[in-house]
Amino acid sequence: MSFVTTSDGTQIFYKDWGTGRPVVLSHGWPLNSDSWEAQQLFLAENGYRVIAHDRRGHGKSTQTWHGNEMDTYAADLAAVIDHLDLRDVTLVGFSTGGGEITRYIGNYGTARVAQAVLVSAVPPLMLKTDDNPGGVPIDVFDGLRAGSLADRSQLYKDLADGPFFGNNRDGVTIAQGPRDAFWLQGMASGHRNAYESIAAFSATDFRGDLAKFDVPTLVIHGDDDQVVPFEVGGKASAALVKGAELKVYAGGPHGITDTHKEQLNNDLLAFLNSYNA
């Protein structure tokens, strides 16, 4: 298995498939790189080198006690990119991973970056605050924290069986497999890591980071996302990135990497192919 060792000794696991211009995939909470497998296989089979890593505390990476916040997540991503000496990279972030790649650009710039893609992503700021009145009330995130402490196994089942894939909507039936995969990946995360990541994805303000985007950017979001509402996430991010392209998936839930995989795969490939070095 392949690992990168960060400056604090954390082992970050990654999968490196295919050859060609590099694409780096950053996953959501409380998942790991396996959540990207459909996109990673498709893009690798279509001429790209696709790297997907497990965030610290998730999947096969070290379950650290500290560093469960966006600056460290971005530093870990930088460690992977630097270790593999990746250039002209397309960064693709889903949900919390969208925050990770946004903070990476905010902190490290775009010297190695050719394109950026935000998928169902948490920027610019999820939490409702005085200067973000349309955000999600803190009670929602406190509920996630309480559920995590009380019985996180059941919390992950409830998310997968309900809002994550939109299985709680009339007329929608999501197969058992993706729901089981969500639970399995969630339970592979460290308890403290996943708990602290709730604050990282909900309360981090990425507005300043988005202002530093100076590469072609694609924003993809479902308009029935019950986890990161479209108005809070994709619509707001696209408005803050100059020249960003916004694709809205009608009726799309949060987990479009599974529910809309063919559409997403094709949109990602078209965007990748649009780049001229």
* pTM of the complete model: 0.98
d(CA 2, CA 168): 38
Q: What are phi and psi of 14, to 5 degrees?
A: -145, 155
**Would you state the pLDDT for residue 263?**
98
Query: pLDDT digits over 1-30, tens only?
Result: 799 999 999 999 999 999 999 999 999 999
Query: pLDDT digits over 46-82, tens only?
Result: 999 999 999 999 999 999 999 999 999 999 999 999 9
Among candidate residues 81, 89, 58, 36, the one with its CA nearest the CA of residue 191: 58
Q: Are 103 and 73 in contact (CB under 8 A)?
A: yes
Question: Does 277 score more than 70 pLDDT?
Answer: no
Place of tokens 């916040």: 69
Query: pLDDT digits over 176-204, tens only?
Result: 999 999 999 999 999 999 999 999 999 99
Question: Annotated catalytic sites, by residue?
Answer: 95, 225, 254
d(CA 258, CA 155): 20
Is residue 58 classed exposed, middle or buried when 0-12, 13-18 and 19+ CB atoms within 10 A define those classes? Answer: buried
| Mode of pairing for the β-strands spanning 48-53 and 21-26 | parallel
